[in-house]
Amino acid sequence: MHATTAATRPPPPEAAGRTGGTRTPRSLRAFGPQWYASVMGTAIVANGAAALPVRLPGLRTFGFAVWALSFVLLGCVIAARVTHFARHRGEARRQLLDDPSTAFFYGCPPMALLAVGHGTLLYGPGPLGTRAAVTIDAVLWSAGAAYAMAVACGIPFLMITRWRLEGGALPGWLLPVVAPMVAAALGPPLVPHLPAGQAQTTLLYACLAMFGVSLLGTLLLLPGIWTRLTRDGLGAAFLTPTLFLVLGPLGQSTTAVKQFADAAATAAPDYAGAMRAFVILYGVPVLGFALMWLIMAGAANVRALRRGMPFAMTWWAWTFPVGTCVTGAAGLARHTGLHAFTAVALALYVLLTAAWAVVAARTVHGAYAGRLLS
């Protein structure tokens, strides 16, 4: 099965409106895991605001409001997906096992859990109390990390044993692979809240292991993605925003190494110096490549927009991957003290918030009109 054909093939009208002979809303049948991208894209706006190495008037309040929105949005999407599984089990099974173009989006749910959980740790202590905020983040991080590893193992297994994918790799293939990197980057902030000793060190090393899972998986996929892009292109115009997905593992891994260095001071003091050096030796070159890719992907998207690229949920790829570069650049600014990285982080954050505002408004309009839900 070609990885892009199922994404553009709508369900038969009669199937979309019926389950077991009883008419049900088409929106429930069509509601897939890609909707978690809206949660990720919203949460990263809040998390990016907290990560910036400068304090601007109203920034904290804005970040808090967006985090609260992401928290509510996560609950709504989970409720909709539970309803989807309950009423359309056959369709849910098809989305995961028989439709690769949808199955790759199963990398989004764990990242949504992880991003909202981290936002709770950043913004929750005030309204919820520190203990409650830490508990919520610990629960969401644990669920997200386990989910991320299941997806990172399960989707490649299906690729090898069940699907026959033609045409080469697409950027969307990175979604299951980058999920463990998000867990790796957002786990270290929980280290100070664990008992000193084995518990702290175990969590840090677990995050390092997930960093390796995601990094090596990304390195396996990127040559195939580049070959596909230069040989055949992306195909359908609405897939052009997925070029930004390549930024995900780049920006998130840069964020991760900064988090490792911060946590190593207490969890692995013998390696704290090496971790701090790794922030620079790894983070600076990788962020440089990320910025190069951002320029190329941005130019491709501007070109596609001028040619009438239609709105689709793939536009959410403009948000979370760019947000990871915001947190990555902000981390480098804090570790190096260079104003250049602060400027990069601020510029990227302006780009992120603008993209989020546009995509969120178009998503609300499309959902209200019923087009995105059918």
Residues above pLDDT 70, as percent of the chain: 92
User: Is 14 part of a structural domain of the chain?
Assistant: no
Give the pLDDT band (50/70/90) at residue 20: very low
Give the pLDDT band (50/70/90) at residue 27: low
Looking at 31-40, 157-166, 177-186, which range is the least confident one?
A: 157-166
pLDDT at 188 over 70: yes
For residue range 291-304, list pLDDT tens digits in order: 999 999 999 999 99
Please give the Cα distance from 215 to 314 (Å, whole number).
23
User: Is 23 part of a structural domain of the chain?
Assistant: no
pLDDT value of position 348: 98
pLDDT at 221 over 70: yes
Q: What is the mean pLDDT of residues 258-277?
A: 95
Residue 202 in tokens: 């175990």
- Contacts (Cβ under 8 Å, ≥6 apart) of 318: 41, 241, 244, 301, 355, 356, 359
Give the pLDDT band (50/70/90) at residue 1: very low
Question: How many CB atoms sit inside 10 A of residue 201's CB?
Answer: 18
Q: What is the mean pLDDT of residues 328-338?
A: 96
User: Is 24 part of a structural domain of the chain?
Assistant: no
Surface-to-core class of residue 165, CB atoms within 10 Å of its CB (0-12 exposed, 13-18 middle, 19+ buried): middle
pLDDT value of position 10: 40
Give the pLDDT band (50/70/90) at residue 110: very high
User: Is 19 part of a structural domain of the chain?
Assistant: no
pLDDT value of position 2: 39
For residue range 58-107, list pLDDT tens digits in order: 999 999 999 999 999 999 999 999 998 888 888 888 888 888 888 899 99
pLDDT at 113 over 80: yes
Q: Half-sphere exposure of residue 159, counting CA atoms within 13 Å on the CB side?
A: 20
β-strands 18-19, 22-23 pairing:
antiparallel
Looking at 1-10, 218-227, 270-279, 343-352, which range is the least confident one?
A: 1-10
pLDDT at 16 over 70: no
Residue 32 in tokens: 């897939």
Please give the Cα distance from 281 to 114 (Å, whole number).
26
Please give the Cα distance from 317 to 239 (Å, whole number).
10
pLDDT at 368 over 90: no
pLDDT value of position 278: 96
pLDDT value of position 29: 75
Q: What is the mean pLDDT of residues 169-175?
A: 92
For residue range 270-282, list pLDDT tens digits in order: 999 999 999 999 9
Surface-to-core class of residue 373, CB atoms within 10 Å of its CB (0-12 exposed, 13-18 middle, 19+ buried): middle
For tokens 């990398």, what's the residue? 107
User: Is 111 part of a structural domain of the chain?
Assistant: yes
Give the pLDDT band (50/70/90) at residue 23: very low
Mean pLDDT of the chain: 90
pLDDT value of position 290: 97
How many separate domains does the chain show? 1
> Residue 36 is part of which domain span?
30-369
Please give the Cα distance from 224 to 211 (Å, whole number).
21
User: Is 164 part of a structural domain of the chain?
Assistant: yes
CATH code of the domain covering residue 207:
1.50.10.150
Cα 185–187–192 angle (5° rounding)?
Answer: 125
Q: What is the mean pLDDT of residues 346-366?
A: 96
Q: Specify the higher pLDDT residue, 18 or 227.
A: 227
> Taking a C-beta distance cutoff of 8 angstroms, is the pair 101, 172 a contact?
yes
> Taking a C-beta distance cutoff of 8 angstroms, is the pair 245, 294 a contact?
no
Q: What is the mean pLDDT of residues 135-164?
A: 94
Question: Is the pTM higher than 0.75?
Answer: yes
User: Is 115 part of a structural domain of the chain?
Assistant: yes
Q: What is the mean pLDDT of residues 154-180?
A: 89
User: Is 53 part of a structural domain of the chain?
Assistant: yes
pLDDT value of position 8: 38
The phi-psi region of residue 114 (left if phi > 0; otherwise alpha if psi is between -120 and 50; otherwise beta) is alpha
